[in-house]
Structure 1
Amino acid sequence: MSSLQSTLSFLLPSSTHNKKIAITNVDSWLGCCIAVHLAEKLEKRCPNVQIIALTCKDADSHLDKLKKFKNVHIHKIDYNDEKSIERAISGAKCALLLPEMTEHRVKHAKNVLAAMKKEKIKGCLMLSVEGAEIAENHGLKEIKSFHEIEKMVEEYCSCYLILRKSILNQCFLLWSPIVQEKQEFPMSCTAECQMAPLDACDLVCAIETVIVEHCRHDDDHNKGNPRDSTDTNADAETDESGEKWNFGGIHKNKKYILTGPHKITAQGLVQVLNEETGQRVQFKQVPREELKKYFESLKERENWYEDLSIDRCCEMMDIAVAGGDDMHEDHDHHHMAPNQSVINLMLDELELVKKGEVGFVSGDLEKIIGHQGRSVKDFMHKYKDEFRSGRL
């Protein structure tokens, strides 16, 4: 494609987008982060690709900045109505399945996958949770639901990639109020328990790498220009138009556990926090129910809301949105309070930490993005002011 053609393809209306990718659950902070970041990258590297962003809420306000991207089309759907989903994802080549943070996630995911099958969408990248395959053994219902969705993805999709994320660094921001007020870091595991937290920025980067590589790979093959001499595209699927595509590439039909670059104890986490803030925060082991009550109390605090703030999401991902000069204007005043499903998931994740099931570095992140990712220390250094006393 000439430089002129490339420029025109970027400037022309969305009808020039000859490839579509569906993303579910853009209502969530993580789904929003992924959608915005992916839109930015595809706009630059794959201008013929359009994102179908699925939302179950009115998108007129909380997703305004996502709408600024010319390659994004937001669809309000009803996850209980399979026909609604079918209409929204019609024409998509693959889908990014981000299970909802509600008690209905399994039912809704099943409806999405059924709609994908009806629309002959064969490729799926699913975001799951570390420990999904063993959650049932420990009676962890929230994480177990992700494993149920994993099994459905394998059943419905001929090409898939399942990414199981470890506990995210960004979740530690939920402890900032109690650190500021009481100089305590309560957790439902022991001080010696180990974890390998993943940074959300690296998770988003991994998803972007897979999707962009898929789009560029397909374009090259359908133009008769394989990316390298060893790539025969032997496993490629053929769609209704006769185009060949191979979602996932070398990662096709695999399950990866994405962890951070280092394992760290709960006490070590607090020590890193103290090193970065200059404070003397104490680790405190508490019962699961006590930690649950603390998380539930966050939504009662000033400036903590369950509602999505795209400005806050973009700030956390270091994303600058075109035309968004006011992007950071409220991030110091809006904090994301977890809903009940998020709280239960975090408590389940900490239960696996307590049982010693997740205290390892997998190395799978490096297989996708080429490096080990950001450490807990990197995260605490960036957000040290959030934890410092006297900010409330």
Structure 2
Amino acid sequence: MSHILPSSHVKKVAITNVDSWLGCWIAVHLAEKLEKKCPNVHIVALACKDNTHADLDKLKKFKNVHIHKVDYNDERCLEKALSGVRCSILLPEMTEHRVKHAKNVLCAMKKEKVKGCLLLSVAGAENKEHNLKEIMTFHEIEQMVEEYCSCYLILRKSILNQCFLLWSPTVQEKGEFPMSCTAECHMAPLDACDLACAIETVVVEHCNDDDKGGHRDAEAAMNEESTDDDHSNFGGVHKNKKYTLTGPRKITAQGLVQALNEETGQRVQFKQVSREELKKYFESLKKREDWPENLSIDRCNEVLSEGALAAEGGDHPHMAPNESMINLLLDELELIKKGDAGFVSGDLEKILGHQGKSVKDFLRKYKDEFRHQR
């Protein structure tokens, strides 16, 4: 006798930290794509209940998104939010509590029998020798994912193209591009749009594979008889893999500035500075009226979109980084300085089937953000 799932049955995919700029981008992108490709899949979006800087109204308008304000220290609260979830996208928070909170999420996932986990980690997390504090917290979380999840995929992102927008004020006002690495250091920046597309691809493939499982899987879903890892296929061919996602080409720090000059027709100078000096610059962004600490989904969606920037005078995608974000970015630059990030992995192509956007593509799109102020 065959069993057919009722039309009301939906699959749930959870994503944490949607009240951060990166979590917001990914949640908006995933909501839009799932509406078209997997209309029976809903997103459980977890946001910290104490975060007063995030405006999530636009995310609430998606019919396939259910926002849960959670206390990451309260496992029962997390268990309730994760009830019925098939797989989770774990985006560690940009706070000093990220390891503890990630462990609480993973414990709740295990108790609720969440089948798979996609962890967004950072390049360098596999190496314990460099002693970079922020990056090492991601190493700890990776170990916990392997311990708690029988089915996972770990994506380590390289420095993001979008992070270079943080330099736009000093480029505009001083014609300088200060970095804490040398001019000859190589990097292969990843575009946030490609990162979001990679996560989307994994989630959509997983949901579609579930749909192809036939009536037996539907019956198991209805009766909830499957065991913790029974027939778990999250990640497909990428199951239990660790990928480092980079852009398609290497570029030096000086080459980055040269590419910027070629796009803008300017003469911006590369300037090597200390970690402490660069940190002070990033911290100064919080004092700028045009760089609010509040999260705007409109700004996130604008950066993620394929279109051009908003018209002059529009809402540009600026958001001041917090301390943890600053320290992670400085760690990523230190990794570049040590020569541990100057490679193209090819892992993005394994997921997307293409190499993704280059940093030059990004600078071409956002060249107006870096023009000198007259």
TM beyond 0.5 = yes
Is the contact made by 1:196 and 1:358 (CA closer than 8 Å) also made in structure 2? yes
**Equivalent in the alignment of 1:216:** 208
Which runs of 5 or more structure 1 residues have no equivalent in the other structure? 1-7, 10-15, 226-236, 321-326
SS in 2 for 1:336: coil
CA distance in 1, matches of 2:52, 2:84: 22
Deviation at 1:221, TM superposition (A): 1.4
CA distance in 2, matches of 1:70, 1:152: 33
SS in 2 for 1:276: helix
**Equivalent in the alignment of 1:13:** none
Q: What is the aligned counterpart of 1:137 among 107, 122, 129?
A: 129
**Equivalent in the alignment of 2:40:** 48
SS in 2 for 1:86: helix
CA distance in 2, matches of 1:238, 1:185: 57
Question: CA offsets, 1:320-356, max 9 Å, x none?
Answer: 9xxxxxx989853562100000000000000010000
CA distance in 2, matches of 1:67, 1:329: 28
**Equivalent in the alignment of 1:375:** 358
CA distance in 1, matches of 2:367, 2:235: 37
Query: How many residue pairs are counted as aligned between the two chains?
Result: 361
Deviation at 1:84, TM superposition (A): 0.6
Is the contact made by 2:53 and 2:295 (CA closer than 8 Å) also made in structure 1? no
Question: CA offsets, 1:235-289, max 9 Å, x none?
Answer: xx99934484410000000000000000000000000000000000000000000
**Equivalent in the alignment of 1:80:** 73
Q: What is the aligned counterpart of 2:331 among 348, 365, 372?
A: 348
Q: What is the aligned counterpart of 1:98 among 83, 91, 102?
A: 91
Residues 239, 188 of structure 1: alpha-carbon distance in 2 compared, 3 angstrom cutoff: farther
Is the contact made by 1:17 and 1:50 (CA closer than 8 Å) also made in structure 2? no
**Equivalent in the alignment of 1:150:** 142
Determine what percentage of the aligned residue pairs are the same residue: 76
CA distance in 2, matches of 1:215, 1:319: 25
Is the contact made by 2:187 and 2:341 (CA closer than 8 Å) also made in structure 1? yes
CA distance in 2, matches of 1:264, 1:238: 52
TM-score if structure 1 supplies the norm length? 0.88
SS in 2 for 1:190: coil
Counterparts of 1:1-392 in structure 2 under 5 Å? 16-57=8-49, 62-134=55-127, 136-223=128-215, 240-242=224-226, 244-318=231-305, 332=315, 335-390=318-373
Is the contact made by 2:303 and 2:317 (CA closer than 8 Å) also made in structure 1? no
Residues 67, 358 of structure 1: alpha-carbon distance in 2 compared, 3 angstrom cutoff: same
Deviation at 1:303, TM superposition (A): 1.3
Is the contact made by 2:259 and 2:360 (CA closer than 8 Å) also made in structure 1? yes
Letter in 2 for 1:99: P
Is the contact made by 1:218 and 1:245 (CA closer than 8 Å) also made in structure 2? no
Is the contact made by 1:24 and 1:96 (CA closer than 8 Å) also made in structure 2? yes
For the aligned residue pairs, the C-alpha RMSD in angstroms reads 2.4
Is the contact made by 1:352 and 1:358 (CA closer than 8 Å) also made in structure 2? yes
Letter in 2 for 1:304: W
Is the contact made by 2:125 and 2:139 (CA closer than 8 Å) also made in structure 1? yes
SS in 1 for 2:295: coil
Question: CA offsets, 1:118-169, max 9 Å, x none?
Answer: 11113000000000111x3122000000010000000000000000000000
CA distance in 2, matches of 1:347, 1:120: 37
Deviation at 1:67, TM superposition (A): 1.2
CA distance in 2, matches of 1:191, 1:46: 46
Letter in 2 for 1:176: S
Residues 363, 333 of structure 1: alpha-carbon distance in 2 compared, 3 angstrom cutoff: closer
Is the contact made by 1:312 and 1:328 (CA closer than 8 Å) also made in structure 2? no
CA distance in 2, matches of 1:385, 1:21: 37
Deviation at 1:206, TM superposition (A): 0.2
Is the contact made by 1:303 and 1:334 (CA closer than 8 Å) also made in structure 2? no
CA distance in 1, matches of 2:193, 2:288: 27
Is the contact made by 2:46 and 2:70 (CA closer than 8 Å) also made in structure 1? yes
Is the contact made by 1:165 and 1:257 (CA closer than 8 Å) also made in structure 2? yes
Residues 154, 183 of structure 1: alpha-carbon distance in 2 compared, 3 angstrom cutoff: same
Deviation at 1:382, TM superposition (A): 0.2
Residues 115, 341 of structure 1: alpha-carbon distance in 2 compared, 3 angstrom cutoff: same
Give runs of ≥4 in structure 1 deviating > 2 Å.
57-61, 222-225, 237-245, 327-334
**Higher mean C-alpha displacement, 91-100 vs 302-311:** 302-311
Is the contact made by 1:311 and 1:328 (CA closer than 8 Å) also made in structure 2? no
CA distance in 2, matches of 1:288, 1:61: 29
Which runs of 5 or more structure 2 residues have no equivalent in the other structure? 1-5
TM-score if structure 2 supplies the norm length? 0.92
Is the contact made by 2:17 and 2:46 (CA closer than 8 Å) also made in structure 1? yes
**Equivalent in the alignment of 1:234:** none
Is the contact made by 1:279 and 1:388 (CA closer than 8 Å) also made in structure 2? yes
Is the contact made by 1:311 and 1:331 (CA closer than 8 Å) also made in structure 2? no
CA distance in 2, matches of 1:376, 1:17: 42
